[in-house]
Amino acid sequence: MQELESIYKETRAKMDKTIDALRKELLRIRTGKANISLLEDITVNYYGQPTPISHVGTISTPEARLILINPWEKNMLQEIEKSILSSDLGITPQNDGNVIRLVFPPLTEDRRKELVKLVKKHGEEAKISIRNTRRSSNDEIKKLEKDSVISEDYSKDGLDEIQEITDDYTKKIDEIVDHKEKEIMEI
């Protein structure tokens, strides 16, 4: 049934967006290693315009616990430093007049446990989003049956297929969360 296929396709697309959002959210959670994705959402005032740090300089990770920011214009050093300090990164930038260094201290056991809780919370939120998508897809299928567009058998098959899709995406979320948890707990 074409109607059901379009519902399946739409359901998968919405659930893919949920998975992408979860991955993006988890990239922002600091593990024991420096990761330039931590700076993605931090913007600096560049001639009156909020601009991502990556657009005003070169960002590199020469060591596992160090991010170097080398601005293309030296007058941006203070702006970058100010933006990092006002962000929720929790790292104090070191400005030597040429580059900014972000040194990531090793995570304590307690901090690792807090981060794992946060990862699990994001995973649970993603699962809630997946279940909401399932509910709306199921409602669409039931409406098709009620309007006599599809038969009761097709409706039951459609609901079963939506449940299978939901189970697949829930499993993906569990795998992503487990991987991030291992990454955080790794010393």
Q: What's the fold here for domain 2-28+108-185?
A: Topoisomerase I; Chain A, domain 4 (1.10.132)
Side-chain-facing half-sphere of 155: CA atoms under 13 Å: 15
Annotated domain spans of the chain = 2-28+108-185, 36-103
Do the Cβ atoms of 115 and 29 come closer than 8 Å? yes
User: pLDDT tens-digit profile of 124-163?
Assistant: 999 999 999 999 999 999 999 999 899 999 999 999 999 9
- Taking residues 72-79, report their average pLDDT: 89
Q: What pLDDT does 122 receive?
A: 95
- Taking residues 53-63, report their average pLDDT: 90
The 3-state DSSP composition of the chain as helix, strand, coil percent (nearest 5) reads: 65, 15, 20
How far, in Å, CA of 40 to CA of 187, rounded? Answer: 25
The secondary element (H helix, E strand) that includes residue 60 is strand 57-63
* Candidates 3.30.1360.40, 3.40.50.300, 3.40.50.720, 3.65.10.10; CATH matching 36-103: 3.30.1360.40
Residue 63 β-bridge partners: 66
* Tokens, residue 44: 């600096």
